[in-house]
Amino acid sequence: MIKKIKSFLLKGYKKDDSLIRDSVILFSATMILNITGFIFHFFMGRVLGPSSYGTLGALWSLLYLLIVPTVTIQNTLSKFSSELKAEKEYGKIKYLTSHTLKAFSVFAVIGLIIYLIASKFIAEFLHIPITPVLIFGGFFAFAILLPVSRGIIQGLQRFKTLGLNMGFEGIAKVVFGVIFVLLGLGVNGAALAVFLAFLFSFIITYFPLKKVFKYKSEEYSLKPMYRYFIPMFISLLILTSFYSMDIIIIKHFFDSEIAGKYAAVSLIGKTIFFATIAISFVMFPKVSELHKQKKHTKKMLNKSLLLVSAVGIPMAIVYFLLPELAINIFFGSGYIDVANILWRFSLFILFFSLTYTITMYNLSIGKLKSLYLLFLFAVAEAALIWIYHESLLQITNILALLGVIMFVTMFSIVLMRKNDT
């Protein structure tokens, strides 16, 4: 059985073979980014103390507001630059790069001005000093621009370069953070470290794009890209809601202690998603390019789903067999009493990760009608948890069952389409 899976993954033309290699590269970069993020927070939590770290945590909550739009920007530019690459239209890629950098620079400036105007209100609402809030504003500006460069690099399928840039961001954040905090800048230094990490990560994306800027710019209509941006944004918003709305509803119906324990289990289960998301990032531009060349794309999807399964299933099995150990390692013995729901939530996340891969595949070939179905599943999740919430066990049973049904439905729709080209 293992030999058959290995043979399936390795057969085919060179473009298919690169899926595994590039997924490993981006997976490694994602792990470096996650590990350095953990080191950053571990250091800040120890050195700053509970009060100042609470301020940093409040600032960090603002970061999550940008996840959906930034990923939308990156994936949209990845799709359109990969299609231009398929036709070797490098002059148009230059136009796409320069135009979007200018356009999003304007958005970044406008957004920064609005943020600075609102900074006093933000500080008062979060009960934190205004200085780190102002410093964090610089991060917001480059958090909009960095996905533009990374999206083009992803579309050109320069995954090693993209991975190095992501790794640099994580390492720079830790290095700057440690230096500034040890110099006595406190939470202001931590906020400044985040800003500088994004600033320098954006600056160094210029070097891998130098070859693109050597070509003569060829103007072409970007209206299809901006039209595509909306369904991409909606898709990512819906997908993000699947692993966030449950926590919000549980926080509403349960006390803080139970909600906190569920949040801990949720975070452990989500490691399956975070460990496999790199596969979708790699698949997305490759499928877009194949689709533009009128080549079959389902083989790429099948291999991507197999890779997600190869990573996710062993993790889910570990969480099923050793839930107490997993919880104890991540959060300590105080959370052991909810160990029985870990494998159920992990099952939900495993099938959600597979559904996420299918959704990215559909978006890469312009199959957007499945968004309506995805939205209905999101509504169903919220409604079912809102109605049936006698215990965390009941909620995770609902999630696990919904995850299986959602994946089977979405995959069946793909199978029923005769040829995706």
pLDDT at 421: 60
Query: pLDDT digit string (tens) for 186-228?
Result: 889 998 998 999 999 999 998 888 888 888 888 888 888 888 8
Q: Which of 11-25, 176-190, 302-316 is predicted least confidently? A: 11-25
pLDDT digits (tens, 9 = 90+) for 350-364: 999 999 999 999 988
Q: What is the 3-class SS of the chain, one letter each residue?
A: CHHHHHHHHHCCCHHHHHHHHHHHHHHHHHHHHHHHHHHHHHHHHHHHHHHHHHHHHHHHHHHHHHHHHHHHHHHHHHHHHHHHHHCCCHHHHHHHHHHHHHHHHHHHHHHHHHHHHHHHHHHHHHCCCHHHHHHHHHHHHHHHHHHHHHHHHHHCCCHHHHHHHHHHHHHHHHHHHHHHHHCCCHHHHHHHHHHHHHHHHHHHCCCCCHHHHCCCCCCCCCHHHHHHHHHHHHHHHHHHHHCCHHHHHHHHHCCHHHHHHHHHHHHHHCHHHHHHHHHHHHHHHHHHHHHHCCCCCHHHHHHHHHHHHHHHHHHHHHHHHCHHHHHHHHCCHHHHHHHHHHHHHHHHHHHHHHHHHHHHHHHHCCCCCHHHHHHHHHHHHHHHHHHCCCCHHHHHHHHHHHHHHHHHHHHHHHHHCCCCC
The pTM (predicted TM-score) of the whole model is 0.75
